[in-house]
């Protein structure tokens, strides 16, 4: 396992590709740029794949038709990200996408692709009001932590990171890094997710990486407005920055945000920190055992 790694979090501008090949070229250029700057883990945002709905102008402006169009491209999307991970020798969290389950339910799926061809996925657990009430996206039921050559990685997609028990369960199962792809249509939404990400870093004494969509896409009923800045957050303790912010991009700017992290710091924070919230967590229940969700450990190493 490598102790020090370079993470690239995308502030990904939503475009209007005219073909799947055009989208492939865009994503490939982004991966090429990050890999060229030494990144080993690349994080794309929530619902970044929805820009593919622009390919068919007849359905792009229809919320549910655009969702179905991107669902239909799922295997091709996966194949492209998997190819890029192998070609550039990087670990990639692809932009999340709607995925249809065998029973017809549609979930918001984040997939992690490794350089050796292995992959795994985490479905978003908590649905926002838009996903529940307008889009009919369903929440996932299983939590995973991915054991990789670069460390133990969990994924808490956007709204998920605002709920402490999701990241706590992943951290308790060994997660050292939580990846948080996000998509928010207001600055308030962005800050809710960012504050959640920083709180999860503090509580669990781990790294949390946020990667948002940015820019305006008035053609899309799902991604019409996108606000945010990518960031890498840690507990503000010991040798960490006073505000717990390792890296932070410029809001709204399409760019990669890089951070070099030493995951060995997780153990140091937990064993020698000024405070020990990860270890002291059970004490808040005054002797009662908190509800715990089962977590599947997915070996990708």
The residue from 51, 124, 162, 180 that is catalytic is 124
CA dist 46 and 127 (Å) reads: 13
Q: What are phi and psi of 219, to 5 degrees?
A: -75, -20
CA dist 212 and 27 (Å) reads: 15
The residue from 51, 131, 138, 158 that is catalytic is 158
The residue from 46, 51, 131, 162 that is catalytic is 46
Q: What are phi and psi of 95, to 5 degrees?
A: -60, 135
- What does the CA dihedral 204, 201, 150, 142 come to, rounded to 10 degrees? 70
DSSP H stretches of helix in the chain: 20-36, 63-72, 74-88, 129, 164-172, 187-204, 264-272, 277-280
Helix (H) or strand (E) holding 12: strand 4-13
DSSP state of 61: T
Active site residue 183: no
Residue that has been written with the tokens 């606000």 in this structure = 227
Active site residue 180: no
Active site residue 158: yes
Active site residues: 46, 124, 158
């Amino acid at each position: 396992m490598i102790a020090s790694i370079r993470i690239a979090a995308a502030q990904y501008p939503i475009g209007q590709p005219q073909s799947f090949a055009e989208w492939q070229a865009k994503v490939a250029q982004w991966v090429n740029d990050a890999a060229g700057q030494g990144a080993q883990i690349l994080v794309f945002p929530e619902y970044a794949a929805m820009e593919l709905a622009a390919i068919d102008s007849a359905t792009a402006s229809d919320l549910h038709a655009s969702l179905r169009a991107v669902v239909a491209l799922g295997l091709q999307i996966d194949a492209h990200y998997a190819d890029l991970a192998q070609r550039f020798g990087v670990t990639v969290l692809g932009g999340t996408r709607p995925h249809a389950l065998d029973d017809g339910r549609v979930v918001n799926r984040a997939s992690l692709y490794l350089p050796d061809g292995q992959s795994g996925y985490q479905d978003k657990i908590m649905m926002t009001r838009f996903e529940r009430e307008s889009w009919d996206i369903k929440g996932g039921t299983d939590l995973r932590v991915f054991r990789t050559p670069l460390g133990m990685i969990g994924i808490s997609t956007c709204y998920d990171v605002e709920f402490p028990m999701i990241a706590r369960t992943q951290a308790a199962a060994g997660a050292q890094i939580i990846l948080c792809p996000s998509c928010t249509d207001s600055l308030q939404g962005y800050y809710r997710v960012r504050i959640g990400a920083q709180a999860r870093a503090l509580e669990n004494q781990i790294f949390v990486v946020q990667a948002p969509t940015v820019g305006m896409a008035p053609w899309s009923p799902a991604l019409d407005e996108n606000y945010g800045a990518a960031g890498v957050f840690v507990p503000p303790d010991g040798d960490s920055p006073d505000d717990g912010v390792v890296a932070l991009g410029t809001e709204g700017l399409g760019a990669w945000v890089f951070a070099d992290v030493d995951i060995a710091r997780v153990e140091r924070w937990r064993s020698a920190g000024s405070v020990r919230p990860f270890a002291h967590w059970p004490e808040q229940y005054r002797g009662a055992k908190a509800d715990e969700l089962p977590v599947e450990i997915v070996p990708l190493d």
